[in-house]
Amino acid sequence: MNKSVILALGLVLSGMFVSAQTLDKQAPQGFDVENAAISHGKIDTIQYPSKTVGTTRKALIYTPPGFKKREKYPVLYLLHGIGGDEKEWFRNGTPQIILDNLYAKGKLTPMIVVLPNGRAMKDDRATGDIMAKDKVEAFATFEKDLLNDLIPFIEKRYPVKKDRNDRAIAGLSMGGGQTLNFGLGNIERFAWVGAFSAAPNTKEPQLLLPDPSKAKELKLLWISCGDQDRLMPFSKRTSDYLTENKIPHIFYIEPGGHDFKVWKNDLYLFSQLLFKPVKQEEVNLILKSE
C-alpha cells in the first residue's frame, strides 16, 4: 500500500530540474469519506445553450463551502472518460467529498468546479457503442463547445475570474487527452493543465505543442498515470517530449491501473496546487507528505 513510487519530476516551475523523487504516501485514509462535522459545498446541475451542438446541454457545478455571490472565484473544468458523462466524476470519484475535506483542512484556494459532458453531440449519453467513430469524434468537437458555449455561459452566470491564470482544465483518460489537446492548444485560455491517465485521443507531441516554448507560460502542467495502466505510453511520450524540450512539468507515476482509485488520488493532489504561487517546496510537500 505505502510502497514507495518513483515520482519523475520533470518539472520544475522554478527552472531547476529534479530527475526523480521518492513518493512515500498518497492521499491519506479518509480523504474521500464524507464528514458530517464540516461545511459542505454544493453540487447543482446546470443547462446551457450550445451553438456548437445545437442543443441545450447539461453540466454539474460544484460551488465551495462558504460560497458567496459577491466574491469572484477561479474555475476548474474537470472532464470525464469515454464511458462517462457529466455525472461520472460525481458518481464514481466523489469530488465534492474530496474537496470538502480539503477545504476543511485549509488546503484549497476556493474555486468553482465545472463538470461538463465532453461528448459534444446531440445524443451525448454514454450508451450503445461508446467507441463508435461519431462518439469518439464528439470528444474532439467538445473543444468548441467548451470555449465558445460553456465557458461564456459560466462567466455570465457565476461570479468567476476570467483571466487565464484563474482557469484550469483537468480530466481523466479521454478527458485527460482533451485536457492536453485543448489546454496546450489554447494556452491563452488556460494556465493550469492536469491530465490524468491520458487516452489515445491525446495528440502526438509535435502536434500537441509545435512550439514547445509556449508552454513556459503555463503555471502548472501535470501529467499522471498509474504504473499498471496500459495507456501509459500516451502520458510517457508527452512527458518525454516536454523533457526533451526543457518544458517544466510534473510527471507523476503512481501505483495503480486505469480506475477511479488513481483519479481520486490525482484530484486530491492536483487540486491543492491550483491557483496558488507554485513553489517547488510546496509541490514536494504535497506529493510526499500525509
List interacting residues with ligand FER (CB under 6 A): 81-82, 136, 173-174, 199-201
Residue 247 C-beta: closest distance to ligand FER, Å: 25
Nearest-angstrom CA–CA distance, 162 and 25: 35
By beta-carbon proximity to ligand FER, the closer residue of 64 and 171 is 171
194, with CB counted inside 10 A (0-12, 13-18, 19+), is: buried
At 53, the amino acid letter reads: V
Angstrom CA distances, 183 to 22, 103, 171, 195, stand at 28, 26, 11, 10
By beta-carbon proximity to ligand FER, the closer residue of 200 and 210 is 200
Residue 180 C-beta: closest distance to ligand FER, Å: 13
Nearest-angstrom CA–CA distance, 1 and 60: 33
Q: Say which DSSP state 74 is in.
A: -
Residue 238 C-beta: closest distance to ligand FER, Å: 15
By beta-carbon proximity to ligand FER, the closer residue of 110 and 171 is 171
Residue 265 C-beta: closest distance to ligand FER, Å: 16
Residue 66 C-beta: closest distance to ligand FER, Å: 34
Q: What share of the chain is helix, strand, coil (3-state, %, to 5)?
A: 35, 20, 45
- The CA R_g of the chain, rounded to the nearest whole Å, is 18
By beta-carbon proximity to ligand FER, the closer residue of 263 and 268 is 263
Residue 7 C-beta: closest distance to ligand FER, Å: 23
By beta-carbon proximity to ligand FER, the closer residue of 101 and 117 is 117
Residue 191 C-beta: closest distance to ligand FER, Å: 25
By beta-carbon proximity to ligand FER, the closer residue of 99 and 199 is 199
Q: Say which DSSP state 190 is in.
A: -
Angstrom CA distances, 118 to 78, 179, 289, stand at 10, 11, 33
By beta-carbon proximity to ligand FER, the closer residue of 172 and 253 is 172
List, in sequence order, every beta strand (DSSP E) within the chain. Answer: 5-8, 21-23, 42-50, 55-63, 75-79, 112-116, 167-172, 192-196, 220-226, 250-254
